[in-house]
Amino acid sequence: MKKGQVYEGYVERMDFPNKGIVRCEEEVAVVKNALPGQKISFMVSKKRKGKAEGRLLEVLEKAPCEIESACPHFEECGGCSYQNLPYEEQLALKKTQVRRLLTPAFAQQMELEGIEGELDNYIDKIFEGIKGSPVQKEYRNKMEFSFGDEYKDGPLALGMHKRGSFYDIVPVRECQIIDADYRRILGCVLDYFTEQNATFFHRIRHEGYLRHLLVRKAQRTGEILIALITTTQEEHDVQPLVDKLTSLELDGKIAGILHTKNDSVADVVQSDETVLLYGQDYFYEELLGLKFKISQFSFFQTNTLGAEVLYETAREYLGDISGEGKKDKTVFDLYSGTGTIAQLLAPVAGRVIGVEIIEEAVEAAKVNAKLNGLTNCEFIAGDVLKVIDDIKEKPDFIVLDPPRDGIHPKALQKIIDYGVDRIVYISCKPTSLARDLEVLIEQGYRMERVTAVDQFPCTGHVETVCLLSKK
Ligand code: SAH
């Protein structure tokens, strides 16, 4: 295959998260945003060390299980990868991806344990497949939209980045993974600033006003928090917008509206100053019978009902930690966010210690523990890598829920050095998990149970939960 040339072929499989593998002329190309079974044409856009990357041009034959996408933005929008697959097929695809990524770890474990036989049979005993999300549409409790233009010098847009584009924004007025309230709020804000002729912040020139719109809506309580993120390069009276938003007919209820000012050049939502325009700067969500106060920047699983399945699985995997009813065991919840997992385990533990780098989330975790009447939780703000050195207590069990990059190698070593009997590792990126498992297995841990849990229907993401025990 040559760069710049157009080829045709069948998509053999999709690798995590959305890489189509196409075999053609005895070579293999990776083409994003395809489906297994599709016949596609693609142009080779890169070729390095014999590996070709292609850009999808056209779907020549549909995949056998392909359906019409329910979302009109699907072809353009960079948010979802699998709107055109029935949910059962999405699950099968993610299950295969996780299994495939963890296969080397299973092989390593089998070899270390000196087990003979078929690798596939061995995996079948430990890998439990995938659990689906209880809701597959309108499931998100948080969405971060970007301002930009639909195309160069086109109209103001508010929505998601276009597939494969750094600049263009797709105004996702009909997005299917958020509910109607989000769509109403998005439409209202976009219409308002279009009328105002407000500018958006240009990512290269670093000029302009509008940056992001963050909307969070609790699935259980219906409370909504809205944050408009702008630079300080223009002055706009946002009070009329607040009036428009608060008079929208919504299914939920607006708890607060914030204006966050951010003049940094990085394309992330952060705050130099936040002004409260309406209501309060937090909202409440409920999960597995506990109540959580959530603020603008606190991490909280983005699919509340799906998170219940995830956390239940983690709790089940960890098993009985009550020490025959004595409740004297210490659990570390590392990368604890707003302390959800710590609080779920607290009723059966002696003590739970959560470690989290974002201070705002740690404060929220403390408030939440109090709110839920839990007195045996402690939350420490800081980097796991450093905090571990300062904690005097030793854990009996550890729960790990790191961000996408996985665990820092030095932090992982310190975690292993505790030598606890059981670790539950929750991972939002199976490629990182596969890397960390290699180290854990090499140093004496074995995978006892593994399952994928789908928190993000229609997208390429998937969570994996793994129970590790000390041999
Ligand atoms: N367990 C929580 C959060 C998981 S997300 C939940 O389920 O809700 C991962 C969390 O790790 C985020 O809150 C992130 O802020 C935090 N984090 C990222 N790097 C970290 C580090 N080096 N040390 C501690 N926390 C970190």
pLDDT at position 95 over 80: yes
Q: Tell me the HSE value of 61 on the side-chain side, using a 13 A CA sphere.
A: 10
Give the model's pLDDT for residue 50. Answer: 82
Q: What is the C-alpha to C-alpha distance for residues 64 and 86, in angstroms, rounded to an integer?
A: 11
pLDDT at 232 over 80: yes
From 141, 299, 309, 343, the mutation candidate for ligand 1 (largest count of ligand atoms within 8 A of CB) is 299
Where residue 336 falls (left for φ over 0; alpha for ψ -120 to 50; beta otherwise) is alpha
- Cα 383 to ligand 1 centre (Å): 9
pLDDT at 52: 95
Q: What is the pLDDT of residues 364-396, one digit of tens each?
A: 999 999 999 999 999 999 999 999 999 999 999
The answer to which of 3-12, 140-149, 292-301, 442-451 has the lowest mean pLDDT is: 292-301
- Which amino acid would we find at residue 282? Y
Residue tagged 């060390």 (tokens): 49
Site to probe by mutation for ligand 1, drawn from 356, 404, 412 as the one with most ligand atoms within 8 Å of Cβ, is: 356
Nearest residue by C-alpha to atom 1 in ligand 1: 336
How open is the CA angle 57-95-299, to the nearest 5 degrees?
90
Spatial CA neighbour of 299 closest among 338, 354, 343: 338
Q: Which atom of ligand 1 is nearest to the CA of 402?
A: 9
Active-site residue among 71, 80, 428, 458? 428
Q: Which helix (H) or strand (E) holds 450?
A: strand 445-453
Distance 44 CA to ligand 1 centre (A): 38
Q: Packing angle between helix 430-442 and helix 409-417, nearest 10 degrees?
A: 40
How far is residue 150's CA from residue 73's CA, in Å, rounded to a whole number?
12
Per-residue model confidence as pLDDT tens digits over 268-319: 777 889 999 999 999 999 999 999 999 888 889 999 999 999 999 999 999 9
Tens-place pLDDT, residues 62-83: 999 999 999 999 999 999 999 9
pLDDT over 80 (residue 166): yes
Torsion sign, CA atoms 230, 236, 242, 245: negative
Q: What is the pLDDT of residue 446?
A: 98
More confident position, 266 or 358: 358
Higher pLDDT, 131 or 322: 131
Output the pTM of the full model.
0.95
Cβ–Cβ < 8 Å for 399, 331 = yes
Q: Are 315 and 322 in contact (CB under 8 A)?
A: no
Segment 122-134 shows an average pLDDT of: 98
Residue for token pair 């409370």: 223
Mean pLDDT of the chain: 96
Cα–Cα distance, 42 to 167 (Å, whole number): 23
> Whole-angstrom Cα distance, residue 158 to residue 145?
6
Rounded Cα–Cα distance for residues 463 and 98 (Å): 9
The pLDDT score that the predictor gives to residue 97 is: 98
